A and B are shown apart, each in its own frame.
Chain A
């Protein structure tokens, strides 16, 4: 690395920034005394901080490039994390501690913490679902929240009109969301990339606007209240007990999601999704039915959002269209991209980071979006494959 050249470039950048910010940060016209104040210290701050920032940025970039040259992405080369993970001496104790922590969590911490964790787990589920559509099948879906809304409203409305319980509605909502997925899938079969993103974005907004304006059906913006919490064999539970119960229901659902998604990923269908993401034309030329593969991806992705929606409705006991804005879709998409497209562990960690960080950073709530933005930008520059990279499965063969 040419240190002098890099430093020179950083110096140029800082000089350019000082010049750019000169009129607004240095000169100030004091209209009371009609004098011009020269705030040179501001210029020094801008100069030093941009210089340091740009030098750090360049240093990190060069480190990244160097490491890329050494281990080109290949399934054999695992990250240190994954190596540690596959080491049994490390894996089993770690798993044991994790299980212990997960089970004791709601008893060790306050109900506030348990509630946050339930929300985080719902996002894990949503992330894993969207991961099928975006991470595996490569279909950029910006309207995923629509299926979440379908799930939540299925529970809200079925309970309101027919008195159906949590457990009955869970599978019904999953099926309804899957149908909604197919409904969205059909018109966008021919679309790819940006076009698909725009149409799905529209779809998400349509669902929200329908819920907001079709008062007779969805009770409009005032939403549906008094949705029952999850029940257990009709036992009466206090709020605390119910929160703990919901927590474990959510843990169970997340485990179920991981199980199914993992199996799907390493199957004939999972491979077809990935092939579709990699190259649509080659994928069809290999005999894969594009229509069917896309629709199964949309349907199976939406299923989890539907179930997540039911838990959401049950947890908050109140739903209205304001909970299902485009912002939710963006967060879920960020979870998938930040965590690592196609990687289950990655999506889980992405979901935990993106939902827990804002909660625990409430003290800095004014800077929350700033931190969020900086994090996303630097992740995309320094680690575009996400927190945990998706590693392809390897096979061993013995020569006969």
Chain B
């Protein structure tokens, strides 16, 4: 089977600093892959490269969808989203002064097409499209469990709900691959538990592959099919949760070397 996302020896330099060094990564269809590593290891930079916020210095990024393989290097972020990669942000980036529903409706933007004239004249096609955007968005909110907040401003939501809304908004773009950047950060245990069910549920019902960055090891070990560990921009380990837990290089990166050993 062809991987949904294939990243070959990706390198990202910022001046003299090599944030990502020759990183290879694959995400198979309907797979949950975790990317872990200490702070500053280059995980978010890696996401930014894939989603087009940064243009990588070297290497290739391929997205394979429905048997078509496309190179994503150098595409603008909105084009990448249109191709089928959606993401959430480490520090929540919701549209604070828009309602919850509108936040999700923004996600539908790239799957709809009505323009200026349509907006002014509100012809039949535009009206139907608009109605569909509203009902589709509501369905997504129901699925994520945010439907009771529909008309609430995003900024008034409790923290956990804001994180979920980010996921809802990303799902609205109809992705094939969902990138989650620390989705459980700042959540309590119950919220994390619910999140973990949500992520597995998204994978199972929508057939979306998921690549996530996360520091909550319990969550990572519970839901990931495979884990990549990076440190200083380099991959130091790869494998299933059990292998990663036993890997000496990973233990060293996380806990440091034992000076007495």
Residues of A bordering B, CB below 8 Å: 72-76, 260, 263-264, 267-272, 274-275, 278-279, 281-290, 296, 300, 392-395, 397
Contact = CB atoms under 8 A, between A and B. Distances in A.
A113 B65 CA distance: 66
Contact of B93 (A269, A279, A290): A279
Contacts of A275: 95, 98, 106, 109
Contact of B99 (A287, A392, A397): A392
Given A286-B81, A287-B107, A395-B101, 6 more contacts: A73-B153, A75-B153, A263-B119, A272-B106, A279-B93, A288-B106
B119 A392 contact: no
Interface in B93-118: 93-99, 101-102, 105-107, 109-112, 114-116, 118
Given A269-B116, A271-B105, A287 B82 contact: yes
Nearest to A280: B93
Contact of A270 (B99, B112, B119): B119
B112 A268 contact: yes
Interface in B37-88: 51, 53, 76-78, 81-82, 86-87
A300 B102 CA distance: 22
Contacts of A289: 76, 78
Given A263-B119, A392-B153, A282 B78 contact: no
Nearest to A291: B76
B76 A268 contact: no
Given A268-B109, A287-B109, A296 B51 contact: no
Contacts of B81: 284-287
B62 to A, nearest CB: 19
Nearest to A266: B119
Given A267-B119, A269-B115, A288 B151 contact: no
A392 B154 CA distance: 11
B114 A395 contact: no
Contact of A394 (B99, B115, B122): B99
11 contacts: A75-B151, A267-B114, A271-B106, A278-B94, A279-B93, A282-B94, A282-B95, A283-B95, A285-B51, A287-B173, A397-B138
Nearest to A270: B119
Contacts of A73: 153, 155-156
Contacts of A272: 106, 109
Interface residues of B, number: 50
Contact of B102 (A76, A264, A271): A271
B102 A282 contact: no
B161 to A, nearest CB: 14
B152 A74 contact: yes
Chain A, interface SS category: helix
A16 B130 CA distance: 60
A75 B151 CA distance: 7
Contacts of A282: 89, 93-95
B242 interface: no
A95 B123 CA distance: 27
A396 to B, nearest CB: 8
B112 to A, nearest CB: 6
Contacts of B221: none
Contacts of B112: 268
A263 B102 CA distance: 16
A389 to B, nearest CB: 11
Contacts of A74: 152-153, 156
B153 A284 contact: no
B36 to A, nearest CB: 22
B169 interface: yes
A288 B78 contact: yes
A267 B118 contact: yes
Contacts of B99: 75, 392-394
B152 A290 contact: no
Instruction: Give 9 closest A-B pairs by Cβ, nearest first.
Output: A287-B110, A267-B119, A287-B81, A278-B95, A282-B93, A284-B77, A394-B151, A275-B106, A287-B78
A270 B120 CA distance: 11
A263 B172 CA distance: 23
Contacts of A271: 98, 102, 105-106, 109
Interface string B145-159: 001001111011000
Contacts of A290: 76, 78
A60 B77 CA distance: 46
B253 interface: no
A390 to B, nearest CB: 8
Q: Max chain A CB contacts within 10 Å: which of B97, B107, B115?
A: B97
A264 B93 contact: no
Contacts of B114: 267-268
Q: Max chain B CB contacts within 10 Å: which of A72, A268, A270, A287?
A: A287
Q: Max chain A CB contacts within 10 Å: which of B76, B114, B119?
A: B119
A394 B134 CA distance: 11
